[in-house]
Chain A
Amino acid sequence: MPTKAMFLMIKQMLQRPFTNPFPVKHAPKDVTSLVEKIQKGEVKIYPPVPVPEGFRGKLHYDPERCIGCRLCITVCPANAMEWIPELRKIRHYVSRCMFCALCVDVCPGKKFPGEEKAVKALSMSEEFLIADYDKYSDNLIEEPPEAKEKGI
């Protein structure tokens, strides 16, 4: 009989569980009412495990800083970028993205007057809860706002 394992198990039984109960401790009876309660501040959410420094989450695109050099399209291994010729900007599909951040590395950015250094148009955010019902939903496509207005 593995007695050593038995004592370890009994010892562990008396310790606290090593679980992060995200988002709430028990599965809610009704998810919609839970979301409402959280928005009202009645229920507190246990935060997820904190992300480390340099975490590569959902790509953030700032069209103001984009000069239309198309380097990100060249370098993207997953073909997640699309060129919009009318605006000379890009559109990014998060559902195809593989979060390698090569586009962030290669992006030259744009320097506005009065600034010391150029700021990149592309950056990795810390957002990782990006599940969705539709892979083409607004949440999963990064594009200049004009593109949506004009329906390009």
Chain B
Amino acid sequence: MNIVYLTLGLIAIYLYVSAASLLWEGVDRKLVARMQRRMGPPILQPFYDFLKLVSKESIIPRDANKFFEIAPVLALASSIALLAYTPLGFEPLLATKGDVIVFIYLLALIAFVRVMGAVSSGSPYAQIGAQREIIMLASREVPMMLGLFAILWRLSKLGVEKPFSLGTFYQYNIWEIGTPLTVFGTFVLFIVFLLWLASEIEVGYFNIPEAETEVAEGPMAEYSGRHLALFKLSSALKEFASASLVVAIFFPWGISGYLGLTGIGAVVLDLLFHTLKVFIVLFVSMSVFRAITGRLRITQAVGMFWGRILPMSFIGVLLIVIDVLGVIA
């Protein structure tokens, strides 16, 4: 594809995903409010919040260094770059062999830049939040990577053009293999991915780094004004991209094929359908999860990742592996 079209496509995707992810935040706040029998803010509230933050004065602490101001820009830049590798109902813009590593790297980079910004602020609250964030980061990526690589490896056995690319989910999906072991293993991995998604966007049990009542917003303690607005936008984009990964792995079906659409119409329709699926996955993993669970302590969360979720991931992966290698015929 031409590089000009790629750029235009990325800008269009960026604008669309920003609007969709902020819209989801509004829907989520409304839904959680209704679960607690409140009326909740209007659906467009995150847009007003964003505009207000942009228009407010941004205070730079005296002890902050240069990176404090660069970090929000870098975080937003990495989330925009992430969108070029995110499956959004069609193959990612820059889908190539092995782009899954880039995806995981960029996803981790956003959290890492957040931590760097927090450490640069010179506030002890932000430092504690940053420590917790980095501990969570180190724990949560392992089960996810194990499951993701296993599924991509299984799909590459079916003969795909670009092995270990996030585009392969649209050629074959993991449910199609259909043997009982794979289906069961995939289901286990689906639960692992829902938990991973909740920890990636830090809700419910895993709302530990940003714990408002304990460490005063954690990494975001010193951010205000437009710097905070950039961080909020980048975390909204990250939310959408992470949920897109879960949707692409487990529910990659489009509807344009059934309606016989081709070309640009099919892309738009698939994007809208994908957004709907992302909203449903986020409803389960974010809204419900955050309404019904309190936050864990950081030791409990790390124990949960290494003691429960990683073994779960192992079980799912082993079931798939046994199925492929035919150890038990």
Are A and B associated in one complex? yes
Q: Which of A's residues lie within 8 Å of B, judged by CB?
A: 1-2, 5-6, 9-10, 12-13, 15-19, 21, 26
Closest chain A CB from B24 CB (angstroms)? 16
Chain A residues with Cβ under 8 A from B36's Cβ?
9, 12
Given contacts A6-B288, A9-B288, A26-B42, contact A17 B34 (CB under 8 A): yes
Chain A residues with Cβ under 8 A from B40's Cβ?
17
Chain B residues with Cβ under 8 A from A1's Cβ?
293
Q: Which of B's residues lie within 8 Å of A, judged by CB?
A: 31, 33-40, 42, 288, 291-293
**Residue from B35, B288, B291 having most chain A Cβ neighbours under 10 A:** B35
Is B288 touching A17 in the complex (CB atoms < 8 A)? no
Is B292 touching A9 in the complex (CB atoms < 8 A)? yes
- What DSSP secondary structure best describes chain A's contact surface? loop
**In the complex, given contacts A12-B35, A17-B38, A18-B37, what are 7 additional A-B residue pairs having Cβ atoms less than 8 angstroms apart?**
A2-B293, A6-B288, A9-B36, A9-B292, A13-B35, A17-B34, A21-B39
Is B293 touching A15 in the complex (CB atoms < 8 A)? no
Question: What are 11 A-B pairs at a CB distance below 8 A?
Answer: A9-B35, A9-B36, A9-B291, A12-B34, A12-B35, A12-B37, A13-B34, A13-B35, A16-B37, A18-B37, A18-B38
Chain B residues with Cβ under 8 A from A12's Cβ?
34-37
Given contacts A5-B292, A6-B292, A9-B292, contact A19 B39 (CB under 8 A): yes
Chain A residues with Cβ under 8 A from B291's Cβ?
5, 9
Closest chain A CB from B323 CB (angstroms)? 28
Looking across the interface, which residue of chain B has its beta carbon closest to that of A26?
B42
| Cα separation A17 to B36 with both chains bound (whole Å) | 8
| Cα separation A17 to B33 with both chains bound (whole Å) | 9
| Cα separation A9 to B35 with both chains bound (whole Å) | 5
Chain B residues with Cβ under 8 A from A26's Cβ?
42
Chain B residues with Cβ under 8 A from A9's Cβ?
35-36, 288, 291-292
Closest 10 CB pairs of A and B: A5-B292, A9-B35, A18-B37, A17-B39, A13-B35, A13-B34, A19-B39, A9-B291, A6-B292, A2-B292
Is B31 touching A13 in the complex (CB atoms < 8 A)? yes
B38: which of A2, A5, A10, A19 is its contact (CB, 8 Å)? Answer: A19
Chain B residues with Cβ under 8 A from A6's Cβ?
288, 292
| Cα separation A10 to B34 with both chains bound (whole Å) | 9
Looking across the interface, which residue of chain B has its beta carbon closest to that of A5?
B292
Closest chain A CB from B39 CB (angstroms)? 5
Closest chain B CB from A111 CB (angstroms)? 52
Looking across the interface, which residue of chain B has its beta carbon closest to that of A16?
B37
| Cα separation A71 to B271 with both chains bound (whole Å) | 77
Chain B residues with Cβ under 8 A from A15's Cβ?
37
Looking across the interface, which residue of chain B has its beta carbon closest to that of A18?
B37
| Cα separation A12 to B40 with both chains bound (whole Å) | 14
Chain A residues with Cβ under 8 A from B292's Cβ?
2, 5-6, 9
Looking across the interface, which residue of chain B has its beta carbon closest to that of A11?
B35
Chain A residues with Cβ under 8 A from B37's Cβ?
12, 15-19
Looking across the interface, which residue of chain A has its beta carbon closest to that of B284?
A6
Chain A residues with Cβ under 8 A from B38's Cβ?
17-19
| Cα separation A26 to B45 with both chains bound (whole Å) | 12
| Cα separation A10 to B39 with both chains bound (whole Å) | 15
Chain A residues with Cβ under 8 A from B35's Cβ?
9-10, 12-13
Chain A residues with Cβ under 8 A from B33's Cβ?
17
Chain B residues with Cβ under 8 A from A2's Cβ?
292-293
Looking across the interface, which residue of chain B has its beta carbon closest to that of A14?
B34
| Cα separation A5 to B35 with both chains bound (whole Å) | 10
| Cα separation A30 to B33 with both chains bound (whole Å) | 26
| Cα separation A10 to B159 with both chains bound (whole Å) | 43
| Cα separation A17 to B291 with both chains bound (whole Å) | 16
Looking across the interface, which residue of chain A has its beta carbon closest to that of B36?
A12
| Cα separation A1 to B35 with both chains bound (whole Å) | 17
Chain B residues with Cβ under 8 A from A10's Cβ?
35, 288
| Cα separation A15 to B42 with both chains bound (whole Å) | 18
| Cα separation A5 to B38 with both chains bound (whole Å) | 17
